[in-house]
Chain A
Amino acid sequence: MSDYKSMTAAEIAKAVSSGKLSAVEITKEALELARTEGEKLNAFITLCEEKALNQAAEIDQKVKKGRDGTPPPAFPLCGVPVAIKDNISYTGYKTTCGSHILEDYQPPYDATVMQNLIKAGAVIIGKTNMDEFAVGSSNETSYFGPVKNPVGDDLVPGGSSGGSSAAVAAGIVPIAFGSETGGSVRQPASFCGIQALKPTYGGISRYGLVAFGSSLDQISPFARNAHDLALAYQAASGYDANDSTSLNYERPDFVSLLTSDKKFKIGVPKEFFAEGLDPEVEKSVRAAIDKLRQDGHTVEELSLPLIDQSIAAYYTIACAEASSNLARYDGVKFGLRESGDKSLAEMYADSRSVGFGDEVKRRIMLGTYVLSSGYYDAYYQKASQVREMIRREFEKAFEQYDLLIGPTTPTAAFKFGEKIDDPLAMYLSDVYVASANLTGMPALSIPCGQTSDDRPSGLQFTGPGKGERELFQVARIWERLS
């Protein structure tokens, strides 16, 4: 069985549930790849070998029982190896968030998304590397070292979900989950040449996802094709009473609705083609727009001027929330503790100074500042108002258009070290992705052409709230056209 790497999740699920392939064999293969190629890429922090093999054996058992008489239960991800970003709580293993401060932390409970995936028959093979506490756009802030982009050893995979992205791009798993706060799956998907969906805020329960910017965070799937992406989202999403911000509505059957001959009305915000956009990326995206037009879709330019404010609003809000969310790592109850024999204040300061990396500290300081008395109105408050205005601007656009289109990132994958010392340049690489997090609307990144030196670039579709179905459909259309 040598073609595992090229199999889709749908094919694996079909083969395993019909008994043609054994989930245990598939799992062993995925684990072996994780140990070899994954190791080279530094994509994983922890492999969940024992639990994965048990899950796989259980699935094989159930399939066998089904063949012996009782019909097999429907497992949409039957025996599909899945990798999970290491900021999603999963019992039995560490959840490090790519940080020294949580290097040895083991959660005593499972995130809701883990329960959903296991219920769907997924086999969780490992926890993937990531930027520390999901702050970063290049995976260079991980305490466990950077992840390499399978496209090229010297290229960053993007961040913060770089490990999950690299694992899918390298064929180690057909599906992986990351998390988004401001483009953290779309940007790496674009850099690694795969697909990713940032769902509508509330689409997938956040219960068990270690918080970075709570009002922006969303667990998000990666896959190599639209069908697998829809499968992954369908299995993971659902209302969860444990997450007050979870959306309580009946999700459509995204997978069966995937193929559509609908002709979409697509808007092209001209702000997505602003200064700083790599001409090669622009060329690919413009070509894609032409192809869609030729396919019969209406594609029109429009202006959403507030997009230019999205990076400022995003970083203000994300940092503010992060500064509060990261307060619990204080050395008192779990995680790293330094200077336990000194005063309380020293213990706090030393644990946090040693436990957090530079980028995390920078965000905590920025966030603390924008919430401070005397500055709140000028920064946090204003950013919240801008956020609301951006949301309204997008909502208005969706009164006219089914979808919006543009590049996912202004450039293709950059090199290690290129931006790590220039935070502002790094932050600006999120310029096209941040608005979807601010508005809570879903957005999908799909490969679209390459630069002359073979680095993939990404096409981004944004939909209105709960518009995942249309995003999967247009992704499927684009797969046919490209």
Chain B
Amino acid sequence: MVSSAQTKEIIYQPVIGLEVHAQLQTETKIFCGCKVAYGEDPNSLTCPICLGLPGALPVLNKRAVEFAMRMIIAVGGSVNERSVFARKNYFYPDLPKGYQISQFDKPIGTGGSVRYNVGKEPERICRLTRIHLEEDAGKSLHPEAGESQTRVDLNRCGTPLIEIVSEPDLASPQEAYAYLVRLKQLLQYLQVCTGDMEKGHLRCDANISVRPVGQEKLGTRTELKNMNSFKGVERALTFEIDRQVKLLRAGGEVEQASLLWDEKKQMAEPMRSKEESHDYRYFPEPDLLNLTISSEWIEKVTSDLPELPETRKKRFVSEYNIREYDAVVLTDSRELADFYEQVMNQFDDAQAAANWIQTEYLKTLNDLKISIDQFPVRPKQVASLLGLVKSGKISGKMAKTVYAEMVSRATDDTESDFTPEVIVEELGLVQVSDESTIVPIVEKIIADNEPQVTAYRGGKDKLFGFFVGQVMKETKGQANPEIVNRLLKERLDS
């Protein structure tokens, strides 16, 4: 027995492995022709197969296999030439056949890894154990106040899933979070999953144990379920590590168990033992043939793979000559990077475009609470707008006004052709860059403000802004500020 004074000295290190379920965004379900969609009327997207009616048989959707292959190849895993579907048997009302078709000892993918960063620390690697294909279950809609019955919606039933199982390589809740961010980014780049955790398109269970630093042997692990955001995963892990460490320091032992995270209470509570004591009685699914994948197919999927975030980031730095940090932000999502490149197809100042997207563009997404695919202004219009600024037709400040107008006009009408040129015209926002117009005004201001000129020349540099302001006032804000600056400097500093 170790005394509590001694145990307090022990520093524990968490060991975390994640199991992530990603819904594949195929057109149809994994074993039948029903549409995969979210938010339709309950049980409207069903057929004898996904309802599990007697006599109905599954037929594998090749597209789902291909999506799984994309992910396996992208993480550097190996696509197994032969894999086997297996039945996972358990009773639940939203599982109409009484078993889930999954894969067990022979999954479609083995190995691979995901690289991730925590803050500014060097890149780390989390190895993957396996990736397998399976079907999703339906949804149980538990009674709300005033109702007595649970209802079952089987629209989701049969949606293709991949389960991505990591090795226990993650050493902190922050690492788990960073890993999930990268995993989601990859899934989105590959266009195999939307990655939307709130809608349940991505789900994550976590296995967590702690052990004294330096100890090889793993501690007893618990499984955390029911987290519905990446931050929720991080918080649940933080809670559970704390609980396990406190327990061990108090001389207790961690019991192997499944815990449900309660986001409202911010705590994880053990599931009833009955709910977790499953013997799934896996056996090979006799209704499906073994899945064989030819090397030609693997080659085809590999060559059709889109450019992945890491590669794209590097290309952005070399091709556009922008800062690495900007490239990271711009390649964060495939859509954002696409948008940037579409702007750059029609504009030539890469850094200006990068700056603009990181400020105005992301601000708009934030303000309107919309996703990238809902962004109202086309890349072509953005390129025109940035072009107007660069050529000096309008000022950066005017550009903000024009852009606000573009957004408000375009919000309700995606086919809008409210080009920046039209708006500039309508608002009369043309910038005056013609020196012959500005020079007399500059000279007039200098002549009219003798005392300030003397003071400025005597060392009061701050007065420069005063002169600029006066010129802008005189030109109703339309004078090109760069030209105004230069003309004033030439005259005042000489």
A108-B48, A109-B48 are known contacts. Are A376 and B283 too (CB-CB below 8 A)?
Answer: yes
Q: Is the CB of B53 within 8 A of A107?
A: yes
> Would A334 and B289 count as touching, CB distance under 8 A?
no
Residues on A with C-beta less than 8 A from B286 are 213-215, 245, 321
Q: Mark B52-71, 1 if CB is under 8 A from A, else 0.
A: 11111111100000000000
Indicate if A211 sits at the interface (CB-CB under 8 A): yes
Residue pair A206, B281 in contact (C-beta under 8 Å):
no
Q: Is A233 among interface residues, defined by CB-CB distance under 8 A?
A: no
Q: Chain B residue with minimal CB distance to A243?
A: B57
CB pair A371–B57 under 8 Å, yes or no, is no
Known: A89-B54, A371-B281. A324 touches B93 (CB 8 A): no
Q: Is B96 an interface residue (CB 8 A)?
A: yes
* Assembled-state Cα–Cα distance A298/B56 (Å): 44
B-side contacts of A348, CB under 8 Å: 91
Which residues of A (291-324) have their CB < 8 Å from a CB of B? 320-321, 323-324
Which one of B54, B58, B287 lies within 8 Å of A95 (CB-CB)? B54
Number of interface residues of B (CB under 8 A): 28
Residue of A nearest to B154 (CB): A333
Q: Is A380 an interface residue (CB 8 A)?
A: yes
CA distance A368 to B91 in the complex (A): 13
CB of A380 within 8 A of CB of B283, answer yes
Taken together as a complex, chains A and B put the C-alpha atoms of A343 and B477 apart, in Å, by 75
A97 touches B54 (CB 8 A): yes
Asked if B99 lies at the interface with its beta carbon under 8 angstroms from chain A, I say yes
Q: Is B98 an interface residue (CB 8 A)?
A: yes
Interchain CB contact under 8 A, B60 and A333? no
- Which single member of A211, A215, A332, A373 contacts B55 (CB below 8 Å)? A211
- Are the CB atoms of B59 and A373 closer together than 8 Å? no
- Measured in the bound complex, the distance between the Cα atoms of B53 and A333 in whole Å is 9
B residues less than 8 Å from A210 (CB atoms)? 54-55
Residue of A nearest to B53 (CB): A107
Instruction: Tell me how far the C-beta of A313 lies from the nearest C-beta in chain B, rounded to whole angstroms.
Output: 14
1/0 contact string of A197-210 vs chain B (CB within 8 Å)? 00000000011111
Determine the residue in chain B with the shortest Cβ distance to A369.
Answer: B281
Q: In the assembled complex, which residues on chain B have CB atoms less than 8 Å from the CB atom of A95?
A: 54-55
Do A245 and B289 touch across chains, with their CB atoms under 8 A apart?
A: yes
How many positions in chain A have a CB within 8 Å of any CB in the partner chain? 44
Contact B55 A328 (CB under 8 A): no
Complex Cα distance A213/B96, Å?
18
Determine if B288 is an interface residue (Cβ-Cβ < 8 Å).
yes
Tell me whether chain B's interface is mostly helix, strand or loop, or mixed: loop
Q: Provide the residues of chain B in CB contact with A327, threshold 8 Å.
A: 89, 91, 97-99
**CB pair A344 B93 closer than 8 Å:** yes
CB distance from A420 to the nearest CB of B (A): 26
Known: A244-B59, A327-B97. A372 touches B53 (CB 8 A): no
Residues from chain B with a CB closer than 8 A to the CB of A241 are 59
Is A332 in contact with B93, judged by CB distance below 8 angstroms? Answer: yes
**What's the minimum C-beta distance from A331 to chain B, rounded to whole angstroms?**
9
State in angstroms the CA–CA spacing of A97 and B97 once bound together. Answer: 17
**Known A214-B287, A327-B89; contact A333-B54, beta-carbon cutoff 8 A:** no
Question: Inside 8 A of B48's CB, which chain A residues have their CB?
Answer: 107-109
Query: In chain B, residues 285-317, which have Cβ atoms closer than 8 Å to a Cβ of chain A?
Result: 286-289
Q: Is the CB of A330 within 8 A of B98?
A: yes
> A320 — which chain B residues lie within 8 A by C-beta?
283
Q: How far is the CB of A378 from chain B (nearest CB, A)?
A: 14
Contact of B99 with A89 in the complex, beta carbons under 8 Å: no
B48: shortest Cβ distance to chain A, in Å?
A: 5
Query: Is the pair A111, B93 in contact by a Cβ cutoff of 8 Å?
Result: no
Q: Which of A179-221 contact B (CB under 8 A)?
A: 206-211, 213-215
Cβ of A130 under 8 Å from chain B: no
Q: Which residues of A contact B89 (CB under 8 A)?
A: 323-324, 327, 371
Pick the contact of B279 from A87, A208, A215, A373 — CB < 8 Å? A373
A105 within 8 A of B: yes
Which partner residue on chain B sits nearest A97 by CB separation?
B54
Given A245-B287, A327-B98; A368-B281 close (CB under 8 Å): yes
Please name the residue on chain B nearest to A331 by beta carbon: B93
What's the nearest-Cβ distance from chain B to residue A393, in Å? 21
Indicate whether A328 sits within 8 Å of B54 (C-beta atoms), given known contacts A241-B59, A242-B59, A245-B289.
yes
Contacts of B350 in A (CB 8 A): none
Most chain B CB atoms below 10 A, which of A206, A211, A328, A380: A328
Contacting pair A244 B55 (CB below 8 A)? no
User: Complex Cα distance A374/B37, Å?
Assistant: 40
Extra pairs beyond A244-B60, A334-B53 (10, CB < 8 Å): A109-B56, A210-B55, A211-B55, A241-B59, A244-B287, A333-B52, A368-B281, A371-B281, A371-B282, A371-B283
Q: List 21 A-B contacts (CB under 8 A).
A: A105-B54, A107-B53, A214-B286, A215-B286, A244-B57, A244-B58, A244-B60, A244-B288, A244-B289, A245-B288, A320-B283, A323-B89, A324-B283, A326-B98, A327-B98, A328-B52, A328-B54, A330-B93, A371-B283, A373-B279, A380-B283
Which 10 pairs from chain A and chain B are nearest by CB? A327-B98, A215-B286, A371-B281, A214-B286, A210-B54, A208-B55, A89-B55, A332-B93, A328-B98, A210-B55
